Amino acid sequence: MTFLATVWLVVRKDLLVELRSREILYTTVFFAVSCVLVFSFGFVRDGQPIDGAAAGILWIAIAFSGTLALGRTFERERQSETLRALLLAPVDRPALYVAKLVGVLVLLLAVEALVVPLVGILFQAPVLRAPWTLAALLVAGTIGFACVGTLFAAMLVRARSRDVLLPVLLYPVTVPVIIAGVRGTAALLQADPDAAMARAWLSLLVFFDVIFITLSLWVFEPLMTE
Amino acid sequence: MRDQGSGISSPSYAFPALAVLTAAALAYAPVMIAQAPVESTMLLVQKIFYFHVPAWFVMFTGAFTCGIASGIYLFTRSRNADRYALTGAELAVVFGLIGLTTGPIWARKAWGIWWDWDAKLTLALIVWLTFIAYLLLRRYGGPGSDRLAAGVGLFGAANIPFVYYSVNWWRTIHPKTSVVPSLGPGMRGTFWFCVLAFMLLMTLLVAARVHLERQRDRLDQLYLAAEDDL
């Protein structure tokens, strides 16, 4: 079976399971919305959001709900011992990683499709001012966060205290993604938008994605071999 | 798992010699620091720099040691590489704590604040947190967490350049790296002597720690062998 065929089969399986229950999608979306609300109480003064709050809250919501989605995705595989079956299948291990990554990305991008307009409305942020650059920042940032997250969540399936260890391991490593995402988005949303700055942060994100996807593909096999 | 490093079971003779040399260097360092000229604008508080910067040198050496050794461990399963990775992470955390303690003491005098979200401070804090996470995973991750931690060590080290660039673009007010070449002659000698003393201390600690882990593994093997005999 070719690499892409394996990826497609596993992605389709994951999306079918998710479509039937919609458990992770609904809980993650609701969690992201709750995050935005909770943070808005901290960053809105006299009915006006403080400068740059929208970008920060958006990315915190993505990072927090992303962690939740990653944990749930692999918890599902663990509960029914299906991860072991997947790993036993005579297919390329890196294909399994890519499939899981695509599944998490689809889920997170669906969450963002709801959270971005919500942040735009609640914080009077001009999210439609440069839609393509903003979309590129969101996609590149989500890939960066999810590519490290998928690897860590997959390897933590076998570990004790995995629920708390995932954010503890993931956040320090994804700090560049969060900084680049927040600063790039803030450069687009501020009163005097700075498109060149946003593109500079976007290039950092793309560079991060390339390096960390390569590293993940490289170490997935030795990490997942017992 | 077979122990590839069990050939060396007794400490080498180089170890006591290294210990004496390190102790002498660390004992003489304060004398040199006391004799170094007092910096004209920051006065006495500048002298913390002689221990602060070498501590960061050791921390980043430890972090990269952990990253490289983790990569080797993942692909070769060499127990020895894992011992070096663990040692590197522990040194990064301990010397990071020294840097993070001496830094704010200096900053309070020089900048008037304990902490500032400056690029180098943020970089150091994030790298420090990464290797604390590495140690937490090893401690609480359960069986097999040494290999999982190797993934974190590798990613943590690979992440350092990214953190460096992202926080650098974010903001910077830290004294530039060019401080070191611009030091006066009396200060430069003292500074590099302190770096040497810290590097000797690091080598000594690495040797002691790797030896300890090796002995632990040997002890485990002996227990297992004794159980098999029963």
What is the DSSP annotation of B78-92? -HHHHHHHHHHHHHH
Are the Cβ atoms of B166 and A155 closer than 8 angstroms? no
Q: Where are the domains of chain B?
A: 52-179+207-213
CA distance A188 to A159: 41
Are the Cβ atoms of B155 and A168 closer than 8 angstroms? no
Residue A171 has pLDDT above 50, yes or no: yes
B141 contacts in chain A (CB < 8 Å): 156, 159-161, 165
* pLDDT band at A203; cut points 50, 70, 90: very high
Would you tell me the crossing angle of helices A131-156 and A162-173 to the nearest 10 degrees? 140
The CA distances from residue A179 to A91, B153, B167, in Å, are 37, 21, 8
**Averaged pLDDT, groups of 10, chain B, 230 residues long:** 44 81 88 76 76 91 95 92 94 94 85 80 90 93 87 92 82 56 72 88 90 90 86
The CA distances from residue B153 to A101, B25, B148, in Å, are 21, 31, 9
The dihedral sign for the CA sequence B44, B46, B50, B52: positive
CA distance A132 to A39: 26
Model confidence pLDDT, tens digit, residues A209-219: 999 999 999 99
Are the Cβ atoms of B133 and A169 closer than 8 angstroms? yes
Model confidence pLDDT, tens digit, residues A21-40: 888 899 999 999 999 988 88
A89 CB-near residues (< 8 Å, 6+ apart): none
Q: What is the pLDDT of residue A140?
A: 96
Q: What is the pLDDT of residue B10?
A: 54
Looking at this protein, which amino acid is placed at residue B148?
L
Are the Cβ atoms of A222 and B147 closer than 8 angstroms? yes
Q: What is the pLDDT of residue B42?
A: 65
Map tokens 């949303």 to a residue: A189
Q: What is the pLDDT of residue B117?
A: 78
Looking at this protein, which amino acid is placed at residue A21?
S
> How many CB pairs below 8 A link A and B?
91
Q: Give B114's DSSP letter.
A: S
Number of Cβ atoms within 10 Å of the Cβ of A164? 10
What backbone phi and psi angles, to 5 degrees, belong to B39?
-70, 140
Of residues A158, A204, A219, nearest to B166 (C-beta): A204
Helix (H, G, I), strand (E, B) or coil at A124: coil
Average pLDDT over residues A105-124: 92
Exposed, middle or buried, A63 (CB in 10 Å: 0-12/13-18/19+)?
A: buried
Of residues A180, A215, A223, nearest to B158 (C-beta): A215
Model confidence pLDDT, tens digit, residues A180-194: 999 999 989 888 888
Report which secondary-structure segment, H or E, holds A45.
strand A44-45
CA distance A93 to A90: 9
Q: Which two tokens stand for residue B225?
A: 């062998």
Q: Which two tokens stand for residue A179?
A: 């900084």
A211 contacts in chain B (CB < 8 Å): 158, 162
Are the Cβ atoms of B152 and A204 closer than 8 angstroms? no
What backbone phi and psi angles, to 5 degrees, belong to A48?
-115, 130
Q: Give B115's DSSP letter.
A: -
- Which of B10, B8, B148, B7 is closest to B82 using CA atoms? B148
B165 contacts in chain A (CB < 8 Å): 176, 204
- Which of B202, B77, B93, B212 is closest to B150 using CA atoms? B77
Are the Cβ atoms of A179 and B166 closer than 8 angstroms? yes
The CA distances from residue B139 to B2, B132, B134, B148, B212, in Å, are 22, 10, 9, 12, 17
Instruction: Find the residue in A nearest to B157 (Cα).
Output: A173
A151 contacts in chain B (CB < 8 Å): 151, 155
What backbone phi and psi angles, to 5 degrees, belong to A172?
-60, -40
Q: Which residues of A141-151 are buried (b: 16+ CB within 10 A; e: fewer)?
A: bbbbbbbbbbb
Are the Cβ atoms of A172 and B140 closer than 8 angstroms? no
